[in-house]
Structure 1
Amino acid sequence: MATQGTPSVPMGEADEEARPAVPRPWRMRGLLSSFAGRSEAFLEGAQFDRGPWLAVAFAAGIGLWFYLGAPWQWLATIGGAAAAAAMAFARWRGSDARAYLMPAIVSVLIALALGMSLVWARSAMVGAEPLAYPRFERIDGRILEREEQPAEDRVRLVLAARDAATGQAVAYRVNLPLARDRPGLREGARVRLSARLMPPSPPIVPGAYNFARRAWFEGLSATGSVVGEVELVTPPPQSRLTVASIQRRLSAHVRSRLDGTAGAIAATLASGDRGAIPERDEEAMRDAGLTHLLSISGLHVSAIIAASYIVVLKLFALWPWLALRVRLPLVAAGAAALAGIAYTLLTGAQVPTVRSCIGALLVLVALALGREPLSLRMVAIAAGVVLALWPESLVGPSFQMSFAAVIAIVSLHSVQAVRDFLAPREQSGLRRFLRRTAILFLTGLVIELALMPIVLFHFHRAGVYGAAANLVAIPLVTFISMPLVALALALDLIGAGAPVWWLVGQSLDLLLGIAHLFAEQPGSVKLAPRIGMGAITLYLVGALWLALWQGRACLWGLGPVMVAAILMMQAPVPDILITRDGRDIGVANEAERLLVLRASEGGYAQENLLELAGTDRQPLAIAEWPHSRCSAEFCSLTVTRESRAWSLLIARSRDLVEERALAAACRNADIVIADRFLPRSCRPRWLKADRRFLEREGGVAVYLSARRIDTVAQDQGEHGWWRAPEDRRAPRDQ
């Protein structure tokens, strides 16, 4: 009963009033502490390994630098990561209860900041200012590199020279017709020549290959072609023996012993020189999912190192005195390491080769120390070394595909069910062979699934039957072709290699037959339009989560991967594609073929338009389409999207048109496209993509249903390889 004179209060309200108020900051701190505790328990239960995630964070910092466009954004990211790391360290310093979480947060944030800082510094140090405008120039320079490309009927030279306008040291890459090549045009020679030079090309349309970015990090200011004869001013040093010269001699020797495409592939396996492989056969290898066999990487380096290890170990074991006094595995590991390094240098030291060599050396060290040779930590170390040396390689397909394949292999073979399936047991030889064949096919399938989104993102086409093709091709190359090439080269020292070269030719002809067989099957190639950065990032996050976590926690990665797959399958095809010069235009989703302004067969621009339109059918000229009207100067056509008719007016020539008539035509059009400057009186209802617009924005992709316009300039930001329009124009007095 309530006391008289005291108001009656419900029990819940009385308790609430009696409880002292808790300040909101302390409540928030309690929530954060509870979240941190749960995170700590999760990391401990999942057996969190910080090493691989440090490499991921380091790579994420590099990737963010390429994605973000302005220096203030880079500074904000680096400063924010450093500040957050300092706060996390101060908050949990000395707390044993945060043995996993605090070091993980601090180290990951520091790795991210280091990655962004490193690639920014490298860009500033090695980036070469691109040529301001196309021009014809007389060059007096020294040859730095020489690359022979007989399949293209040319030789590619990299020259060190002085810019004619500024006097600064520059590097130019020029193509010399094979008919004008001379024996003295080698590294170190001084030459004089005339060349048509162009600034390194940015993407021709959004989603296309960005050569300007690659040229920036390679130090190239311009590319071009030689006009006329080359004057040899100073011959190259006679006694100079370089890796490049050895590579060329070895490639030429192999091709002299074996003709045709088989000889070109054998030269690739021996020296890394792919310049003699015909385009048709290279496309077949690509569409069959076998291109990796032409790019010296893990398969080749591993085969060389493994063969060297076994041969040295077996030979030294025949010498009892040495076998009793020296640890032969250490000697064999050292010899194999030297063989792997020599092969890596000989084949050009490309990113996949360096990665493979580093990984193989780590395997040898692990074997020598009695540690687990195949682990994700080993892959992380190799990735960290490659990115520390060449951070720009992160955004290239070579690095991404190489490490994606290795991570997929290591992760698959770390699954307990796979380990149990491969565990030694008493069984017949046939069953053991079938078991290993099954796991080889499963490995190939997992690799194909891991690589397909990356391949589609970069190349917009991927082979579908790669797992089946690799099931035969990988053992063929690893255990037959490569050993035969090595044996043939060894026997050539005594002039007895001819029979073995015949066997090499037969094995490589079989490889080509496999490539053409799978590439020519119906549905062998998957085509895709431009895949958005969001979709590929979501896929990479999910795939890395699947690969790097232990136990059931890894299954959470399936969600992002599935969402990314849906986004990729639903990626829209651009309705209109316009190249940066306005001379090549594609209208997709009409007549089940791509409509193009110029019907000339092949060509770099047309290939890009077809790839980004997601079709391999022969394009149709707009002038030949029944629903278009064309004159000598313009074509007009109407396309319909979601019950909305869009009127297009496209210039066909640069002939002058009466301004009033042009203005009237522009008023009746939604979109006007021209490769020349149009007068201000030309005012279409939505988009005017003339030369002025294209110089500022670059190539264009138009999505009519979404009323969206994507341009190349939107993805470039303030990076050095993308120049402001006024910097790209020629001086007015020229």
Structure 2
Amino acid sequence: MAGRGRGSDRGEDAVAGVSERSLFATRPAIPLPSPTSLVPAPGTRQPQADIPAPSPPPAAGRIARVRRQFGLTSLPRLRHGVAKAAELELDRGIAFLLVPVCLAAGVIGYYSLAAEPDFAKPVAVVVLTALCALASRSWPKTHLCFTAMLLCALGLLAAKVETWRAGTRMLGSEISTEVTGRVVSLDRMETGRIRLTIDVTSTARPKLRYAPERVRLSARKIPRELAAGSLISGYAKLLPPTGPVRPDSYDFSFDSYFAGIGGSGFFLGNPRIVTAEDDMPLLARLSAAVENARQSIAGRITGIVGGAEGEIAAALIVGVRAGIPDEINEAMRRTGIYHIISISGLHMALVAGTVMGLLRGAFALFPDFSARRPVKKYAAAAALFSIAAYLVISGIVVAAERSFIMLAVMLIAVLFDRAALTMRNLAISAIAVILVSPHEVVGPSFQMSFAATAALVGAYAGWADYRARKTRPPSPKLSLPGLLTQKFLLTTGGLAMTSIIAGSATAPFAIWHFQRVSPLSLFANLAVMPIVSVVMFLAVASALLMPFGLDVPSLYLMGKGLTAMIAISAWISERSPVDAVGLISQQSVLLVTVALVIATMATTWLRLAALPFALAGLLTVSDTRTPDVLISEDARLVAVPIGGGELAVSRARPNEFTVDNWKRALVSESIVVPEVFNKTDGQFTIADAVNLPPGAPFYCTDGVCLARHPSGAIVAHVEDRKDTWKACGFADVIVVNDATGYDACHNPLVLVVTKRQLARKGSAAVFFDRQSATGPPIVSFAVDRPYRPWHEQRKFSREARGLPPYKKPDNTSAPVPAQ
């Protein structure tokens, strides 16, 4: 049998060898036919194969040499390779991974529209693309294109449905009224004030005809017995939702619209509890019970731990983070570890991992039971239940909701014996989030979390494939110190690579939304993450032991760990360079996003297609222009960069949040407040404005504040419209903080921005002509018209209608003249 097998093998080799060798074997020379023999005899047919091909003309030879010289002969081979790789990608399921990408593209397209479409247009587009996709099933490539278009149209329709479903009533103008409503939630701020979210039931003195359904108000003091579900009343000043603090920045009215918040403000006195006349609905009663439980747990945690550590512990366990001091928040932002505070994927993963680890360790104590039962599935089910409870007790914020969906998909995959950490599961969670909350697609939380997760999953999959292909010799036995050293190095390297990959993937979005990066985030995360892992383990233990009153030791240790984390964050923050990086172009963010999608989803050599997009994104980072003047939407604040990292502002006490955003956008380190001169001083007059040196801060006198841009242009800020004419002769930009103001200069070279314009169009950015010193300035506003639903309230304010501020009528009536 052995000899027969060998002979059979040799026979098969011989057959195969004959076919190969016969192709390259040296054959005897065959005499060439004579020219006369090529002419067929009369009545005979010459086979086509025996006719030799005519020699190519000289021009064709030159073309062939040129094609070989420039490598053009490889183009068909390249097209064939691309087609094969694309077919392999489709076989591996990349089409499903691109479903959330197409949905997100449709959502972004909806929010980028210049005007609000009616329902008929998105529905018509969906129906038309669906019919085209059905009709093109016989042509695979065309069918894929129409399917992608259908998904984009579905994303646009989902965003339209969510906008219609939200329908938030937005307050149109500032007003003081008596508000009566039911408390939804309350947060104790670090400043000592209490912020209340209230469902409005009625208003009085005056009664609002278009009252918002939910408002957010702050109070100095509240009744001790006040809790979620209480019906309260108090006189409050209501303010409409604000827009972007500058063009192309985050729109707070957009966020308020989809959060259902129609206005904000503060109580002018202390609110009081009133007796409820009707019973609460069941859903509201459940929500109030959960909120009261959160507040009770947060109070216990802060009472045991105390200080800033207690506030952070409460934020980690129940999501209550309003009481964290501002300096600690800023230190964690500068070091890139603020993601630890916001309950998101990190916390959900640590909770799920801790519960699974504890349960599997407990099951290991019973080997007979573990051998007969799927204990891994039991642990995954318990972990799923634990993160669901964690989601509810943390307040069901958007970031936690998204993270729960992602982890729930992975844990359910474990229950059905599927791989947990895959790009497909990430795509499923992204689809769920996009369909439930489409507006989150344009927010920083969605973009940064999914970018980081996709980059980590893609890098992990690539590394796993590399290790699977590489043959490694068996590792030698190590001593205990060597083994511990190896584990430490591997853990440290894994944390470092995780931080680098996630930080690189989220950096473009962080710069686009916040104009800041954390240059020392790698070191901060390496130093803090081991502590955070222990802290989260203690947090889970505290939550389990709290019902029995045995949580004091774990909370005490948790506080000590948070003390170390705060100290490390503060130490690194003091040594961190300035993190403001200024503005980047929108094209750069889009190109980098395309590169990230290709690099994380492709599994063949087609992922190299991400390189040109990434390179183009890097080259267009600075393809944007920094504003020369920024104006707030209430016309009360004007800022001019004057060089040397300084930002000149027109008010002595500017809005801190607005100025902080402007400083990061204009890469300024400090602000310069104006100098005010009285008429009697005689030190500075309006006539002296023409003598101001370039880069001079604001000088205020005679109702006008003047500053000079480094380019030489003069910026004026006027409080009263009657003083506008004073600056017409020499100012290039005049901002009038008066709703009744108008362009009193009538000069096309002088830009006059009025309070009414800003009330209608939002904050503004002014750009001076770089080509000509005498060219007119160009202004860009934050809000375009026609208004979208989250901007409709802008046209109802007194300022937008050109009316002066409301003043109460004088009670003393004038005497009626005698007839």
Matches of 1:724 and 1:269, distance apart in 2: 37
Q: Which residue of 2 aligns with 1:654?
A: 720
CA contact 2:172–2:793 (8 Å) conserved in 1: no
Q: Which residue of 2 aligns with 1:605?
A: 658
**Equivalent residue letter for 1:136:** S
Indicate yes or no: 2:675 matched with 1:634. no
TM-score by length of 1: 0.86
**Equivalent residue letter for 2:791:** W
Instruction: Quote the offset at 1:490 in angstroms.
Output: 4.4
Structure 1 window deviating more from structure 2 (370-379 vs 683-692): it is 683-692
- Counting only pairs closer than 5 Å after superposition, residues 374-385 of structure 1 correspond to structure 2 as 374-385=421-432
Q: Which residue of 1 aligns with 2:32?
A: none
CA contact 1:161–1:170 (8 Å) conserved in 2: no
**Equivalent residue letter for 1:695:** A
Instruction: Quote the offset at 1:711 in angstroms.
Output: 0.9
Indicate yes or no: 2:416 matched with 1:369. yes
**Equivalent residue letter for 1:283:** E
Query: Could you give the per-residue CA deviations for residues 478-529 of structure 1, whole angstroms, max 9, x where no partner exists?
Result: 1x11122333454555555444333222211111122112222142x43133
Q: Which residue of 2 aligns with 1:463?
A: 518
CA contact 1:316–1:322 (8 Å) conserved in 2: yes
**Equivalent residue letter for 1:688:** V
Instruction: Quote the offset at 1:434 in angstroms.
Output: 1.5
* Pair 601,123 (structure 1): closer, same or farther in 2 beyond 3 Å: closer
Indicate yes or no: 2:214 matched with 1:172. yes
**Equivalent residue letter for 2:452:** A
Matches of 2:88 and 2:498, distance apart in 1: 28
Q: Which residue of 1 aligns with 2:733?
A: 671
1:122 paired residue among 155, 162, 165: 162
CA contact 2:380–2:411 (8 Å) conserved in 1: yes
**Equivalent residue letter for 1:611:** R
Matches of 2:611 and 2:365, distance apart in 1: 52
Q: Which residue of 2 aligns with 1:450?
A: 505
Q: Which residue of 1 aligns with 2:681?
A: none
- Counting only pairs closer than 5 Å after superposition, residues 574-613 of structure 1 correspond to structure 2 as 574-600=627-653, 603-613=656-666
- Counting only pairs closer than 5 Å after superposition, residues 505-584 of structure 1 correspond to structure 2 as 505-523=559-577, 525-584=578-637
Alignment RMSD, CA only? 3.2
CA contact 2:304–2:556 (8 Å) conserved in 1: no
Structure 1 window deviating more from structure 2 (575-584 vs 691-700): it is 691-700
SS of residue paired to 1:301: helix
Q: What is the aligned-residue identity percentage? A: 23
* Pair 200,259 (structure 1): closer, same or farther in 2 beyond 3 Å: same
Matches of 2:402 and 2:795, distance apart in 1: 41
Where relative contact order (Cα < 8 A, 6+ residues apart) is larger, the structure is 1
CA contact 2:172–2:796 (8 Å) conserved in 1: yes
Q: Which residue of 2 aligns with 1:26?
A: none
Q: Which residue of 1 aligns with 2:223?
A: 182
Q: Which residue of 2 aligns with 1:5?
A: none
Query: Could you give the per-residue CA deviations for residues 662-713 of structure 1, whole angstroms, max 9, x where no partner exists?
Result: 5363143322112114344323424111223222322111122465422112
Indicate yes or no: 2:400 matched with 1:349. no
SS of residue paired to 1:517: helix
* Pair 567,589 (structure 1): closer, same or farther in 2 beyond 3 Å: farther
* Pair 336,671 (structure 1): closer, same or farther in 2 beyond 3 Å: same
CA contact 1:144–1:188 (8 Å) conserved in 2: yes
Q: Which residue of 1 aligns with 2:48?
A: none
Instruction: Quote the offset at 1:378 in angstroms.
Output: 0.7
* Pair 368,488 (structure 1): closer, same or farther in 2 beyond 3 Å: closer
Matches of 2:655 and 2:116, distance apart in 1: 40
CA contact 2:354–2:540 (8 Å) conserved in 1: no
CA contact 1:149–1:156 (8 Å) conserved in 2: no
Query: Could you give the per-residue CA deviations for residues 282-301 of structure 1, whole angstroms, max 9, x where no partner exists?
Result: 11111110011001111111
Matches of 1:232 and 1:681, distance apart in 2: 52
SS of residue paired to 1:605: helix
Matches of 2:704 and 2:126, distance apart in 1: 54
Matches of 1:144 and 1:158, distance apart in 2: 5
Decide which structure has the larger Cα Rg and report it.
2
- Counting only pairs closer than 5 Å after superposition, residues 186-265 of structure 1 correspond to structure 2 as 186-234=227-275, 242-265=289-312
CA contact 1:401–1:454 (8 Å) conserved in 2: yes
SS of residue paired to 2:101: helix
Query: Could you give the per-residue CA deviations for residues 288-333 of structure 1, whole angstroms, max 9, x where no partner exists?
Result: 1001100111111111112212222332443466446532222222
Q: Which residue of 1 aligns with 2:116?
A: 71
Matches of 2:367 and 2:742, distance apart in 1: 90
Question: Structure 2: 5+ residue runs without aligned partners?
Answer: 1-55, 57-76, 678-691, 771-776, 807-819
1:691 paired residue among 745, 748, 755: 755
CA contact 2:217–2:267 (8 Å) conserved in 1: yes
Matches of 2:454 and 2:159, distance apart in 1: 23
1:701 paired residue among 761, 765, 787: 765
Aligned residues: 685
**Equivalent residue letter for 1:50:** A
SS of residue paired to 2:242: coil
Question: Structure 1: 5+ residue runs without aligned partners?
Answer: 1-11, 13-33
**Equivalent residue letter for 1:723:** E
Instruction: Quote the offset at 1:280 in angstroms.
Output: 0.5
* Pair 276,245 (structure 1): closer, same or farther in 2 beyond 3 Å: same
Matches of 1:348 and 1:583, distance apart in 2: 36
CA contact 1:597–1:621 (8 Å) conserved in 2: yes
**Equivalent residue letter for 1:721:** W
CA contact 1:204–1:699 (8 Å) conserved in 2: yes
Matches of 1:601 and 1:169, distance apart in 2: 30
* Pair 165,341 (structure 1): closer, same or farther in 2 beyond 3 Å: same
